[in-house]
Amino acid sequence: MRTHLAALALASCVVATPAAAQKADSTTHIAIRAGRLIDGRGGPPISNAVILIDGDRITAVGPGLTIPANARVIDLSRSTVLPGFIDCHTHVTAPPMDYYEEIFRRSPIDEAVTAHVYAKRTLDAGFTTIRDVGSAEFIDVALRNAINRGDIPGPRIQAATLAIGSTGGRAVCGVFIPTTPATRVG
């Protein structure tokens, strides 16, 4: 099981992170040899698969593919590789902790200082895309931007920004405001 998780995390970091994509040269060729590949389409696992990557894009997947001579080969032939996971409800900027400790003793600055740790843990667990459903002071936006610039490793983040709640009520998670280049926050 540990080998499977390592393969998942490695494939996720190599292929799907914005940080890796930002730093990848468009002429970079990578070939991943997978003992078994679960492609996410519902079919049986593919044995002895090869995943070919050019820059930040997967260009071919299947058994018996020819590996280009200039490709860097990652041998996961004793592991199972699968697509990165997506988590649609996260609070990646804050650790799970005592509610009263969080609201009375932690500030948004505390969250900002540690947010990169939770982003890296999320990526290492195989989640290559997340939707963060609310954080204080636009910390999720700053974290997303740092990941997109390649400053720190982490998953792709769809940031909902601030949670919405009624006066005196509890905030509602997951209010997602799509950010286009014209309306992007931060």
Read off the pLDDT of residues 43-53 as tens digits, 9 standing for 90 and up: 999 999 999 99
Statement: residue 39 has pLDDT above 50: yes
Q: Are 2-81 and 85-172 equal in CATH topology? A: no
Specify the CATH number of the domain 85-172: 3.30.110.90
CB 84, CB 40: distance < 8 Å: no
| Average predicted confidence (pLDDT) for the chain | 81
The predicted model scores a pTM of: 0.69
More confident residue, 151 or 134: 151
Structure confidence by residue, pLDDT tens digits, 98-113: 777 777 888 889 999 9
pLDDT, position 173: 60
Least confident of 1-5, 37-41, 142-146, 157-161: 1-5
Domain ranges for the chain, please list them. Answer: 2-81, 85-172
pLDDT, position 37: 96
The mean pLDDT of 60-83, rounded to a whole number, is 94
Cite the DSSP H helix spans in the chain.
2-15, 18-23, 99-105, 108-124, 139-149
More confident residue, 184 or 48: 48
CA angle 135, 136, 142 (to 5 degrees): 75
pLDDT, position 162: 83
The mean pLDDT of 129-155, rounded to a whole number, is 95
More confident residue, 97 or 161: 161
> What is the assigned CATH class of domain 2-81?
mainly beta
The percentage of the chain sitting over the pLDDT mark of 90, rounded to a whole number, equals: 53
91: tokens are 């609070």
The mean pLDDT of 159-186, rounded to a whole number, is 61
pLDDT, position 16: 46
